[in-house]
């Protein structure tokens, strides 16, 4: 599957593990696990050599995993519908309050017309909704260049950037 | 070369840079709305080409103020905190003529709506608006809406501080805020700086009131969780005093908690008032304060920025030598008494331009009237107009010596109906005639009532009565806080009207009490008259309707309205 990562179209190198999977029989390579799977198999997952990703539900509080964040090269946030904007605040919390520097990926109903908002809060990889054309979607980032307020991409509001 | 984009003068017209009294766009502000127009043009083209689904385009057009209504797409244009220029009013007239049927409708949100548009033409309409620093950004959708304020801001005698610079600062902060563009539901902020709350702030998601603390510093009282609709609630105080430098961090904390925790499973329970109500205001405040402590130091609002924005609203050079017009013209004197109010500067009056002429729907204004209002504002009130919560316009700075001439011109244009503040100055939504959500009509019922009370002596004798009528539970006309509130409902295809009495919205707001079973459409005006009669019989000297109501209670009104013949 292709996705947009740091504004480049790339092949996805991650594999998502179902919650029913046997911890003894995980495949090799970079794996994404759920918050629940992580809690059940923390030690075994840390013992693996390959990079690990975690997938949150929109109702999860990202603060619950703050102490373990360093274990993850990827955090996946979900947009069950493009109208469900909780993941924007989850991303902001990860970057602003927990200093998370790894990849934050949006999955679900991820559409061209929300990409710029998502990127601003700190999401940097995007699994575009399957019914949209990823080659078209990648044009969605720079339609509006003026950003009045601070966010994960701009630590200062426009007026302070201007006079800095 | 100056590299500060905020200090570059506006790119459109040199004279706008000279005109004080409102926020004038700099290069970046203009660039943002120009880019926004191009973006929506592209989105509309993708939709018309079938590349965007109906549902996906719906969210995008809502963020640009476009609804699909009963007859055609309706569009709501932002008038930030109700302040606009003659040039902008002329553009609204142009839009009414070019894209609509020649009129527009002012709303309780201080915005203007057009009801007869074509989707394919909306990008051109937005480009026309952008040419005069106007837009429709966030006038609908589940995002932070147009911030509203006191229509007398800056000219009221009871004002602690002009709230408009803070409205503008909030406008900029909230415009395309990436984190808060997909909230559980719409979000409305109102700001007041006066003793009397003329912005009905407590029915907003966030109410900001400029207050002075014990140390004599001015800051904000922050209340959260007001709103009308199906579950009317009055906002509760979350922080009694917030320093100005923390304004935006505090708003951001409230919004973040709401965005994460507000309900998304039921649109009727998705407003922040439901979250605050279900958690309790203490628990909610605790969450907000904890979030705020984490972000407040990184989001300081600089005094220099407050001062930069404030400079746009600096008071005019008033000519205080002017004298009051004195005439024995009874029509002028009636208008002077009812449609003008005190200005903080001697020699000036605030003129309320009525959009409640009996022959038009409340809040409606024709393109010709828009042009006239634009020219009169230029001639008599520094080229600025204000739209008000009660669906009228205000010329805020009129010399007393000019009042007679202004009145004559307004009278000729049907803009001087001398009923401001009376029962006939009712607030009314578009109702079933235009709105896809409505259950019942409101415009024709409003006309019935206005006709019933057309005798001015009778109307004046009733004094201050605030009548508000909504065509459905969504309550766009805020019936729940009307002294007399009327709500249209549909019962098996027949329109019925529920009355509430005793609502009010100054300072402490109070929701009205239900009078009894719904009234048939033909009996609505009769019912209002019966209610008025009870008041006339029972009132004490100089007692307002709403005060009589609270003294005698609802029973006498109930008795009269539902008595059997």
The verdict on a CB contact (< 8 Å) between A84 and B173 is: no
Count: domains in chain B = 4
Share of chain B above pLDDT 70, in %: 96
Q: What integer best gives the mean pLDDT of chain B?
A: 92
Q: Count how many pairs of residues, chain A against chain B, have C-beta atoms within 8 Å.
A: 110
Alpha carbons within 13 angstroms on the beta-carbon side of residue A98 total 23
- pLDDT, position B56: 84
Pairing relationship of beta strands B189-192 and B206-212 according to DSSP bridges:
parallel
Residues B33 and B67 in one domain: yes
Give the pLDDT band of residue B2 (cuts 50, 70, 90): very low
Residues in Cβ contact with B388 at an 8 Å cutoff, skipping those fewer than 6 apart: B82, B110, B151, B352, B394
Tokens found for residue B202:
């407590």
The kind and range of the H/E element at B304 are: helix B303-312
- Average pLDDT of span A7-20: 96
User: What's the rounded Cα separation, in Å, for the pair A88 and A75?
Assistant: 13
A interface mutation test: which of B179, B259, B263 has the most A CBs within 10 A? B179
* pLDDT tier for residue B69 given thresholds of 50, 70 and 90: low
In terms of CA atoms, which chain A residue is nearest residue B35? A144
pLDDT tens column, B6-31: 443 443 444 444 546 999 999 999 99
- Of the pLDDT bands very low, low, confident and very high (cuts 50, 70, 90), residue B104 is very high
Is B489 a domain residue?
yes
Residues B184 and B295 in one domain: yes
pLDDT number for residue B508: 76
pLDDT tens track for B514-548:
999 999 999 999 999 999 999 999 999 999 999 99
In tens, the pLDDT along B121-155 reads 999 999 999 999 999 999 999 999 999 999 999 99
pLDDT-derived band of residue B184, with 50, 70 and 90 as boundaries?
Answer: very high
Residue B256 phi/psi, 5° resolution?
-65, -45
B64 and B190 co-located in one domain: no
pLDDT (tens digit, 9 = 90+) per residue, A106-144? 999 999 999 999 999 999 999 999 988 999 999 999 999
Q: Which of B202, B208, B234, B232 is nearest to B221 (CA)?
A: B208
A150 → chain B, closest CA residue: B299
> Structure tokens of B535?
């008041």
Kindly state whether residue B445 falls inside one of the protein's structural domains.
Answer: yes
Indicate whether B58 pLDDT > 90. Answer: no
User: Based on the domain organization, do B394 and B486 belong to the same domain?
Assistant: no
Chain A residues close to B144, C-beta within 8 Å: none
- Label residue B555 exposed, middle or buried (CB < 10 Å: 0-12, 13-18, 19+): exposed
Range from B61-65, B110-114, B126-130 carrying the lowest mean pLDDT:
B61-65
Distance from CA of B302 to the nearest CA of A (A): 9
Q: Can you say whether the dihedral through the CA atoms of A52, A58, A61, A62 is positive or negative?
A: positive
User: Greater confidence, A85 or B509?
Assistant: A85
Contact check, Cβ <8 Å, B182/A117:
yes
Classify the phi-psi angles of A14: left when phi > 0, otherwise alpha if psi is within -120 to 50, otherwise beta. Answer: beta
Same domain flag for B248 and B117: no
Check whether B3 has a pLDDT greater than 90.
Answer: no
Taking each continuous run of H as one helix and of E as one strand, the counts in chain B are 18, 21
Does the structure show a pLDDT above 50 at B4? no
Q: Is the pLDDT at B562 greater than 50, yes or no? A: yes
Comparing CB atoms, the residue among B43, B176, B183 nearest residue A113 is B43
| pLDDT of res. B182 | 97
Q: What is the dihedral of CA B138, B140, B145, B149, to 10 degrees?
A: 120
Q: In A6-55, which ranges are E strands?
A: 8-11, 14-16, 30-34, 52-55
Q: Are residues B270 and B171 part of one domain?
A: yes
The pLDDT, as a whole number, for residue B5 is: 45
Say how far apart CA A82 and CA B141 lie, in whole Å. Answer: 13
CATH classification of the domain holding B202: 3.30.413.10
A31 to each of A9, A14, B224, B242, how far by Cα in Å?
20, 6, 43, 46
Tell me if B36 sits within 8 A of B80, measured CB to CB. Answer: no
Q: How far is CA B321 from CA B71, B340, B344, in A?
A: 52, 19, 14
Which residues of chain B have a CB within 8 Å of the CB of A63? none
Mean pLDDT of B434-456: 88
- Over residues B109-123, mean pLDDT: 90
Mark whether B304 and B334 lie in a shared domain: no
Q: Within this chain, do residues B484 and B345 fall inside the same structural domain, yes or no?
A: no
> A86: which chain B residues are within 8 Å (Cβ-Cβ)?
259-260, 264
State residue A61 phi and psi, 5-degree precision: -95, 115
Q: What is the mean pLDDT of residues B174-197?
A: 97
Residues of chain B contacting A, Cβ within 8 Å? 4-7, 28-29, 31-32, 35-36, 38-39, 42-43, 51-52, 56, 59-60, 142, 172-183, 248, 256, 259-260, 264, 294-295, 298-299, 302, 305, 308
Q: Report how far apart, in Å, the C-alpha atoms of A62 and of each of A85, A90, B545 are.
A: 15, 6, 54
Q: Delimit the domains of chain A by residue range.
A: 2-163
Confidence (pLDDT) at B10: 40
Angle separating helix axes B443-452 and B524-538, nearest 10 degrees: 40
Residues B468-484, mean pLDDT to the nearest whole number: 90
Which of B47, B80, B182, B270 should one mutate to test binding to chain A, selecting the residue with the greatest count of A CBs within 10 A? Answer: B182
The pLDDT tens digits of the residues spanning B446-465 come to: 999 999 999 999 999 999 99
CB count, 10 Å around CB of B347? Answer: 15
Q: CA angle B255-B260-B266, nearest 5°?
A: 100
**Dihedral sign of CA atoms A39, A40, A42, A43 in order:** positive
Q: What is the pLDDT of residue B59?
A: 82
For chain A, how many helices (H) and strands (E)?
6, 8
Q: Read off the tokens for B217.
A: 């510093």
Inter-chain touch B178–A88, beta carbons under 8 Å: yes
Instruction: Kindly determine whether residue B182 and residue A114, on different chains, have CB atoms separated by under 8 Å.
Output: yes
User: In this predicted structure, what is the pLDDT of residue B440?
Assistant: 85
Is B343 in the same domain as B223?
no
Q: How far apart, in whole angstroms, are the C-alpha atoms of residue B305 and residue B320?
A: 31
Same domain, B170 and B298: yes
Q: What are the chain B neighbours of A160 within 8 Å (beta carbons)?
A: 302, 305
Token match 């904007």: residue?
Answer: A85
A160 and B304 in contact (C-beta within 8 Å)?
Answer: no
Contacts of A114 in chain B (CB under 8 A): 181-182
The pLDDT value recorded for residue A163 is 52
Rg, Å, chain B Cα set = 23
Identify whether residues B165 and B299 lie together within a single domain: yes
Kindly state whether residues B334 and B291 are assigned to the same domain.
no
Whether the Cβ atoms of residue B477 and residue B232 lie closer than 8 Å to each other: no
- In the prediction, which pLDDT does B70 show? 66
Of B4, B39, B308, the CB nearest to A143: B39
Instruction: Give the range of the structural domain holding residue B342, as residue numbers without chain letter.
Output: 330-412
Give the ipTM of the model, two decimals please. Answer: 0.97
CB contact under 8 A, B182 and A148: no
Q: With pLDDT > 90 as the criterion, what percentage of chain B qualifies?
A: 78
Contact A151 B6 (CB under 8 A): no
Please give the Cα distance from B272 to B280 (Å, whole number).
12
Taking only the tens place, the pLDDT of each residue in A61-107 is 999 999 999 999 999 999 999 999 999 999 999 999 999 999 999 99
* The two three-digit tokens of residue B263, written as one number: 């309900």
Q: What SS3 state is found at B420?
A: coil
């Amino acid at each position: 599957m292709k996705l947009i990562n740091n504004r480049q179209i790339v092949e996805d190198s991650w594999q998502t593990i179902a919650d029913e999977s046997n911890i003894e029989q995980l495949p090799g390579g970079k794996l994404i696990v759920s918050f629940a799977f992580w809690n059940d198999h923390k030690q075994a997952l840390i013992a693996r050599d390959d990079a690990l990703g975690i997938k949150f539900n929109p109702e999860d509080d990202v603060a619950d995993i703050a102490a373990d964040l360093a274990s993850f090269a990827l955090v996946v946030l979900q947009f069950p519908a493009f109208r469900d904007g909780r993941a924007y605040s989850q991303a902001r919390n990860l970057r602003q309050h927990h200093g998370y520097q790894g990849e934050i990926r949006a999955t679900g109903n991820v559409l061209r017309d929300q990409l710029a908002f998502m990127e601003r809060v700190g999401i940097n990889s995007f699994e575009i909704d399957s019914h949209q054309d990823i080659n078209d979607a990648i044009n969605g980032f720079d339609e509006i260049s003026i950003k009045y307020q601070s966010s994960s991409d701009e630590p200062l509001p426009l007026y302070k950037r201007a006079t800095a | 070369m100056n590299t500060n984009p905020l200090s570059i003068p506006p790119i459109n017209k040199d004279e706008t840079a000279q005109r004080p009294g409102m926020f004038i766009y700099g290069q970046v502000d203009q660039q943002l709305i120009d880019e926004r127009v191009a973006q929506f043009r592209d989105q509309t083209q993708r939709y018309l080409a079938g590349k965007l689904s109906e549902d996906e385009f719906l969210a995008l057009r809502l963020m640009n103020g476009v609804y699909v209504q009963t007859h055609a797409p309706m569009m709501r244009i932002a008038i930030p905190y109700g302040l606009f220029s003659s040039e902008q009013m002329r553009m609204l007239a142009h839009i009414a003529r070019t894209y609509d049927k020649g009129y527009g409708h002012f709303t309780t949100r201080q915005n203007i709506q057009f009801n007869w548009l074509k989707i394919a033409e909306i990008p051109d309409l937005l480009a026309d608006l952008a040419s005069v620093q106007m837009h429709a950004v966030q006038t609908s959708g589940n995002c932070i809406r147009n911030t509203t304020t006191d229509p007398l801001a800056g000219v009221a005698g009871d004002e602690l501080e002009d709230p408009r610079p803070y409205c503008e600062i909030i406008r900029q902060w909230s415009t395309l805020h990436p984190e808060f563009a997909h909230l559980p539901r719409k979000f409305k902020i109102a700001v007041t700086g006066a003793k009397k709350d003329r912005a009905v702030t407590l029915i907003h998601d966030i109410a900001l009131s400029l207050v002075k603390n014990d140390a004599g510093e001015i800051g904000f009282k922050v209340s959260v969780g007001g709103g009308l609709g199906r579950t009317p609630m009055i906002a509760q105080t979350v922080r009694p005093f917030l320093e100005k430098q923390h304004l935006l961090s505090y708003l951001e904390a409230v919004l973040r908690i709401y965005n994460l925790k507000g309900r998304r499973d039921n649109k009727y329970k998705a407003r922040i008032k439901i979250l605050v109500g279900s958690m309790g205001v203490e628990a909610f405040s605790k969450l907000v304060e904890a979030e705020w402590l984490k972000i407040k130091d990184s989001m300081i609002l600089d005094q220099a920025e407050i001062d930069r924005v404030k400079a746009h609203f600096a008071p005019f050079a008033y000519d205080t030598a002017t004298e009051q017009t004195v005439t024995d013209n009874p029509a002028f004197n009636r208008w002077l008494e009812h449609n003008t109010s005190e200005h903080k500067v001697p020699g000036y009056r605030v003129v309320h331009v009525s959009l409640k002429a009996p022959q038009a729907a409340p809040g409606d204004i024709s393109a010709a009237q828009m042009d006239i209002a634009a020219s009169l504002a230029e001639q008599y009130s520094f080229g600025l107009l204000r739209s008000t919560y009660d669906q009228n316009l205000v010329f805020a700075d009129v010399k007393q010596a000019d009042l007679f001439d202004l009145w004559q011109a307004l009278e000729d244009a049907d803009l001087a109906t001398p009923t401001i503040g009376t029962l006939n100055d009712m607030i009314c939504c578009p109702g079933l005639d235009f709105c896809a959500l409505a259950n019942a009509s409101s415009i024709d019922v409003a006309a019935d009532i206005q006709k019933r009370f057309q005798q001015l002596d009778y109307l004046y004798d009733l004094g201050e009565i605030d009548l508000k009528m909504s065509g459905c539970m969504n309550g766009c006309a805020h019936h729940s806080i009307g002294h007399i509130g009327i709500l249209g409902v549909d019962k098996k295809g027949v329109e019925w009207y529920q009355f509430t009495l005793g609502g009010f919205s100054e300072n402490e707001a109070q929701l009205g009490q239900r009078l009894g079973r719904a009234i048939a459409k033909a009996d609505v005006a009769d019912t209002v008259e019966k209610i008025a009669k009870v008041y006339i019989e029972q009132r004490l000297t100089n007692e307002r309707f709403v005060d009589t109501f609270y003294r005698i209670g609802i029973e006498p009104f109930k008795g009269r309205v539902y008595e059997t013949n």
